[in-house]
C-alpha cells in the first residue's frame, strides 16, 4: 500500500513531462505561424514598395513616357528650389498652429468636461464623433460652411458685426481655414486622451491638497499637469505626425490654393505625380516627407519613453 503512492506520483510526473516536452516541440514551430504571414505580407506590401519608390525617385520618370536614370538629380533639384522649401514651411506652419491650438483647446475642453454632470457621458461621446469621420467628408462640411457667398459662417459672424469673408480664397484666411478644419476634427482626440489622464488622478490627492489649502492654480500645476504629461506627449506625437501628412482636408477645402499658398508637401507630391505626371519627382518628395516624419517621430517617441520611465520610477518611489 505504502509503495503505491510514490508510483502514482511518478506516473503523473512522467505524464506531465511528456505533455510539456510535446508542448515544447510544437511551441518551436508555432511562432512561425504567428509571425510568418504578417511579416511576409508587410514585407511585400510595405518594404518592397518603399524600396521601389526609392528606385523611382532616382529616375526622370514621366507617367506614360520614358524613364531616364538621373541619380540624385530629383533630390538636388528639390532641395535647391525655393518652391520646395516654401511648401515645407507651409506644412510646418499648418502643423504648428493646428497642433498647438488642438492641445490648448483640448486641455480647456477636457477640464470642463471632466466634471461629473448628468448626461456628461453622452455629451462626451457626441464630441468624440468628428475624429471617427472621413477627413474628406469633413472637408466638404466645412467648405460648404466657409463658402464666401452662401456659407453659414459668414451669416453667423454678421451678428458679431464682422463683415463677410472669403475664407478659402483670401490670402491670409486660407491657411487659417485649413487649421480650423483640422482643429475641429482632431481636438476631440486630444480631449479623449487628456480626459483619460485626468481621470487617472486619484481624487484623494485633491482632497488632501484642499485640506492643505493649496490654491486651485497650485493644484493644477502640481497635481493635474504631472498626470497629464504622458497623455499630452502622446497627443503631440500622433497629431504632429498626422498633421504633417495632411492631404484630404487641404485637397477639398482649398485644393492648395489660392495659388499654391496652402499646398502642403503631400498635396505637392500628389500634384507632381498625378497632375504633372512627374513620378520620379513625386517619389523624391515623398521620400523627403518620410525622412522628416522619421525624425519627428524619433524625437517625440524618445521624449515619451523618457517620460514613461520617469513616471514608473516616481510610482515606485511613492510605493517605497
Partner 1 sequence: MNAHQTQSGRLSQVLWYLPVLLILAFFTFPLIWIVMTALKPPIDVFAYPPKFVFTPTLDNYRRVLASDYMDSLGHSVIIALVSAAFSVVLGTLTAYGFSRYPLRGKDNLFFWILSLRMLPVIAVIVPYFLLFQRVGLTDTLVAMMLVYAVFNISFTVWLLKGFFDEVPREMEEAAKMDGYGPWGVFTRVALPLVIPGIATAIVFNVVQSINEFLLAFVLTQRKATTAPIALLNFLTPMGLDWGGISAAASMLVTPVIILAIIVRKHLIRGMSFGQLE
Considering only residues 144 to 203 of the shown chain, the ones binding partner 1 according to CB under 8 A are: 144-145, 149-150, 152, 155, 184, 187-189, 192-193, 196
- Decide whether 86 or 245 has the Cβ nearer to partner 1: 245
- Give Cβ neighbours of residue 293 (< 8 Å, ≥ 6 apart): 241, 244, 245
Q: What is the C-alpha separation between 254 and 167, in angstroms, rounded?
A: 9
**Chain residues 261-290 in contact with partner 1, contact rule CB under 8 A:** 265-266, 269-270, 273-274, 279, 282-283, 285-287, 289-290
Tally the C-alpha atoms within 13 A of residue 210's C-alpha that lie toward its C-beta: 5
Residue 271 C-alpha cell reads as 500634384
Task: Centre a 10 Å sphere on the Cβ of residue 316 and count the other Cβ atoms it contains.
Answer: 9
Among 14, 126, 171, 299, binds partner 1 (CB under 8 A): 126
- Give Cβ neighbours of residue 312 (< 8 Å, ≥ 6 apart): none
Q: Tell me whether strands 59-61 and 67-69 are parallel, antiparallel or unpaired.
A: antiparallel
Q: Does 216 bind partner 1 (CB under 8 A)?
A: no
Q: Does 99 bind partner 1 (CB under 8 A)?
A: no
Q: Does 132 bind partner 1 (CB under 8 A)?
A: yes
- Decide whether 179 or 192 has the Cβ nearer to partner 1: 192
Q: Does 210 bind partner 1 (CB under 8 A)?
A: no
**Chain residues 23-42 in contact with partner 1, contact rule CB under 8 A:** 23, 26-27, 30-31, 33-35, 37-39, 41-42
Report the candidate in 277, 303, 273 with the shortest Cα–Cα distance to residue 289: 273
Among 14, 72, 136, 295, binds partner 1 (CB under 8 A): 136
Q: Does 134 bind partner 1 (CB under 8 A)?
A: yes
Q: Does 49 bind partner 1 (CB under 8 A)?
A: yes
Instruction: Count residues binding partner 1 (CB under 8 A).
Output: 87
Q: Does 247 bind partner 1 (CB under 8 A)?
A: yes
Among 52, 69, 85, 276, binds partner 1 (CB under 8 A): 52
- Decide whether 30 or 85 has the Cβ nearer to partner 1: 30
Q: Does 92 bind partner 1 (CB under 8 A)?
A: no
The span from the first CA to the last CA of the chain, in angstroms, equals 53
56, 279 Cβ separation under 8 angstroms: yes
Residue 228 region by backbone torsions, left for phi larger than 0, else alpha for psi between -120 and 50, else beta: alpha
Report the candidate in 283, 271, 98 with the shortest Cα–Cα distance to residue 175: 98
Q: Does 256 bind partner 1 (CB under 8 A)?
A: no
Amino acid at each position: 500500500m505504502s509503495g503505491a503512492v510514490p508510483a502514482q506520483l511518478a506516473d503523473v510526473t512522467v505524464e506531465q513531462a511528456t505533455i510539456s516536452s510535446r508542448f515544447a516541440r510544437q511551441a518551436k514551430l508555432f511562432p512561425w505561424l504567428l509571425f510568418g504571414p504578417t511579416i511576409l505580407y508587410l514585407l511585400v506590401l510595405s518594404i518592397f514598395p518603399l524600396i521601389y519608390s526609392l528606385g523611382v525617385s532616382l529616375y526622370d520618370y514621366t507617367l506614360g513616357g520614358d524613364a531616364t536614370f538621373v541619380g540624385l538629380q530629383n533630390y538636388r533639384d528639390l532641395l535647391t528650389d525655393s518652391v520646395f522649401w516654401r511648401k515645407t514651411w507651409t506644412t510646418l506652419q499648418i502643423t504648428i498652429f493646428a497642433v498647438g491650438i488642438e492641445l490648448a483647446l483640448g486641455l480647456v475642453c477636457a477640464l470642463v468636461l471632466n466634471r461629473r454632470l448628468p448626461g456628461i457621458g453622452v455629451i462626451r461621446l457626441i464630441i468624440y464623433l468628428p475624429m471617427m469621420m472621413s477627413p474628406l467628408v469633413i472637408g466638404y462640411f466645412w467648405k460648404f460652411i466657409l463658402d464666401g457667398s452662401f456659407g453659414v459662417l459668414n451669416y453667423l459672424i454678421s451678428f458679431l458685426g464682422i463683415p463677410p469673408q472669403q475664407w478659402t480664397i483670401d490670402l491670409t484666411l486660407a491657411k487659417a481655414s485649413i487649421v480650423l478644419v483640422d482643429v475641429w476634427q482632431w481636438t476631440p482626440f486630444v480631449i479623449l486622451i487628456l480626459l483619460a489622464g485626468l481621470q487617472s488622478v486619484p481624487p484623494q490627492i485633491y482632497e488632501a491638497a484642499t485640506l492643505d489649502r493649496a490654491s486651485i492654480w497650485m493644484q493644477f500645476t502640481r497635481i493635474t499637469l504631472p498626470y497629464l504629461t504622458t497623455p499630452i506627449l502622446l497627443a503631440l506625437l500622433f497629431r504632429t505626425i498626422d498633421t504633417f501628412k495632411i492631404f484630404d482636408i487641404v485637397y477639398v477645402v482649398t485644393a492648395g490654393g489660392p495659388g499654391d499658398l496652402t499646398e502642403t508637401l503631400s498635396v505637392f507630391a500628389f500634384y507632381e505625380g498625378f497632375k504633372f505626371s512627374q513620378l520620379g519627382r513625386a517619389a523624391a518628395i515623398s521620400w523627403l516627407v518620410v525622412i522628416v516624419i522619421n525624425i519627428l517621430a524619433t524625437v517625440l517617441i524618445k521624449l515619451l519613453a523618457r517620460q514613461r520611465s520617469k513616471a514608473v520610477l516616481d510610482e515606485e518611489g511613492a510605493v517605497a
